Structure 1
Amino acid sequence: MLVNTRAIVLNTLKYGESQVIADLLTEEYGRLSFIISVTRSRRSVRKTPMLQPLTILSVCFDHRPQRRLGRIKEATVAFPAVSIPFDARKLSIALFIAEFTSYATRSEQRDDCLYAFVENSIRWLDACQGDFANFHIVYMLHLTRFVGFFPNLYDAQDDACFDMRGGCFVDNAPPHPDFLPPHEASKIKLLMRLSYATMHLLAISRQERGRILDVILTYYRLHQPDFPEMKSLPVLRTLFV
C-alpha cells in the first residue's frame, strides 16, 4: 500500500557504498526504518541535506508491515530549515535532540500528538532569534508526556523528595539511591511549567544546567533501561553546560 506522510529524520547509518539505513519518525506509522539510495541518480534520495538529523520530509513509500526495512519511492524536504544548519549552537542541539529522540521513541507506534510535538519543536528552534540555551531541557521534560513516564506532580510539597523510579513525590527518602532531595525536588514543578516561550526566564548557571541535564538522562534510563550513552552529549556540554 502506497503511503504519503511527513517524516522526521532521526538517524542514518551507512550501508554499503551507496545506501544508508535511515530511522524516521513518521506521522502515519510512528517509528520506521528505510534503506535509501544516496547515489546521484535522479530518483535517489541525496544524503545532503535531505537526510540530516531533524530534517522534516514528505515521503512516499510502499508500506508492508512485515518488512523490517522499507523502501522510499519519493522524498522531498517539507520544511527547509533556514537557521539550524548554519548556526553551530542550534546544530549541536539538533544533533542531540535527534539522537535523544531516536533512543526515547524506539518502540513508538502512530501518535499524532508526539509527532506534532517533535515537528513543532523543530520549527520553533529554527525560527528562534532569542535565547535557546534551555531548549533541550524543556524538550526532554515535555517528551515524557508521550513516552509514558511524565512525572506525577500531585502533592509536590516543598519538603518532599522526588522518587525517580516511581516518578512521584514522596514524604520520605525511598530505600534506594534514585531520588532527589527536597532542595532539588522542589524545582521540578517549576521546570515542568516551562515552555519554549518562557524558558528564557529561567536564569541558571552552566553548572546548574549540566546538573539538570544529568538528572533528566538518569530519569530516562531508569524508565528505559536500554537507553545508551549519548554520543552527541560532549559537544552539547561544551557549548551549553
Structure 2
Amino acid sequence: MLITTKGIVLSSLKYGEADLIVKCFTEKSGLKTYLVRGVLKSRKGKIKASLFQPLTQVELVANHKDKGTLEYMREAKLLTPYQSLHTDILKSTVVMFLAEVLRNTIKEEEPNLPLYGFLENSLGWFDATGSAANFHLLFLLKLTSYLGFYPDESQGDEPVFNLIDGTFQTIKTNNECVTDENVPVLRQLLGTDFDTLSNVKMNQISRTGFLFLLLNYYEIHLQGFRRPKSLAVLNEIYS
C-alpha cells in the first residue's frame, strides 16, 4: 500500500555502500523501518541523506507491506525546518539523547496521534526557545503519560515517591521509594509546562540526579529499556 505520512526520524544506519536503514515514528502507521536505496551516492535523487538527522520532521511516501519487515521509502521531503536543533551544540546533544530514548520506548506499528502531536509540538517549542537547560527532564516526564506510567499526583504533598507504583506516599514501602531532594523537583515539574519551564531553577548536580531518577523510573516500567549510550555525552556537555 502506498502511504503518504508525516514522520519523525529516530535513527539512520548506513547499509552497504549507498543505502540507509531509517527508523521513523510516523503519524499514520506508528514505528516504521525503511530501506532508502542509493541515498548516499546520488545527488540528484528525490531523497537527500541530510533529511535523516535525529528527530527531523519529514513528509514521506512509502510502500507499506505491514508485515514487520523493512518498508521501501520512495520519496521524502523536509516538513519542518529547524532553526537551532541541529546547529546549537547543547540542543543537538539533547536531540541525540532523546532520539535514543524514543528508539528504546516506541515499539508499536500503529498510529498514536496524541504521542505524535506531543513530539511535534515539544520539538517545535525546543527549536524556537533560546535556552532550556531542563527541557529533556520535562520532556521525559511528560512522555511517561503517553507510555502509560505518568506519576499519580493525587497525593502530591506526601514526602515519599514510590517508583514502582508511581505514587506519592507517607512512608517507604519498598527499596524503590525516594525521599531525597528529587521529590520536590518532581513535584515542581509535575506542575510545569514548557512555557513556564524557565521558572524551574536547577544546578548541574540536581539536574543530573533527577535525570538518573527518571531513567530508573523508565527501567522499572518498560521491559528491556536501556540507558542511552549518549547519556555520557549529555552529562559532559552540561558539566
**Shorter-normalised TM-score: what interval?**
over 0.9
Q: In structure 1, what is the equivalent of residue 186 of structure 2?
A: 188
Q: Which structure 1 segments of 5+ residues have no match? A: none
Describe how 1:25-174 pairs up with structure 2 within 5 A: 25-37=25-37, 38=39, 39-40=41-42, 42-43=44-45, 45-47=47-49, 49-107=50-108, 109-129=110-130, 131-159=131-159, 161-174=160-173
Q: Which structure 2 segments of 5+ residues have no match? A: none
Per-residue deviation, 1:185: 2.6
Determine the C-alpha separation between the residues in 2 that align with 1:240 and 1:181: 25
Relative to the length of structure 2, the TM-score reads 0.93
Query: Do the aligned partners of 2:185 and 2:210 also contact (CA within 8 Å) in 1?
Result: no
Query: Do the aligned partners of 2:115 and 2:146 also contact (CA within 8 Å) in 1?
Result: yes
Post-superposition CA distance 1:186-206 (Å, at most 9, x none): 432211122211111111110
TM superposition outliers: structure 1 runs of 4+ over 3 Å: 41-44
> Which one of 229, 232, 236 corresponds to residue 231 of structure 1?
229
Q: In structure 2, what is the equivalent of residue 221 of structure 1?
A: 219
SS in 1 for 2:218: helix
Q: Which moved more, 1:198-207 or 1:209-218?
A: 198-207
Determine the C-alpha separation between the residues in 1 that align with 2:13 and 2:19: 9
Gap change, CA 1:108 and 1:69, over 3 Å in 2: closer
Query: Do the aligned partners of 1:50 and 1:77 also contact (CA within 8 Å) in 2?
Result: yes
Measured on the aligned residues, the alpha-carbon RMSD in Å equals 1.6
- Percent identical among aligned pairs is 29
Determine the C-alpha separation between the residues in 2 that align with 1:24 and 1:63: 13
Query: Do the aligned partners of 2:10 and 2:25 also contact (CA within 8 Å) in 1?
Result: yes
Determine the C-alpha separation between the residues in 2 that align with 1:144 and 1:120: 16
Per-residue deviation, 1:238: 1.4
Per-residue deviation, 1:44: 5.2
Q: Which moved more, 1:218-227 or 1:60-69?
A: 60-69
The one-letter amino acid paired with 1:179 is: C
Determine the C-alpha separation between the residues in 2 that align with 1:164 and 1:237: 23
Determine the C-alpha separation between the residues in 2 that align with 1:136 and 1:184: 16
SS in 1 for 2:194: coil
Post-superposition CA distance 1:33-79 (Å, at most 9, x none): 111122315335332x2000011000011121115110011100101
SS in 2 for 1:234: helix
Query: Do the aligned partners of 1:58 and 1:76 also contact (CA within 8 Å) in 2?
Result: yes
Determine the C-alpha separation between the residues in 2 that align with 1:182 and 1:212: 10
Query: Do the aligned partners of 2:33 and 2:69 also contact (CA within 8 Å) in 1?
Result: yes
Query: Do the aligned partners of 2:2 and 2:61 also contact (CA within 8 Å) in 1?
Result: yes
Determine the C-alpha separation between the residues in 2 that align with 1:128 and 1:41: 33
Determine the C-alpha separation between the residues in 1 that align with 2:57 and 2:231: 23
Determine the C-alpha separation between the residues in 2 that align with 1:86 and 1:188: 30
Per-residue deviation, 1:4: 0.7
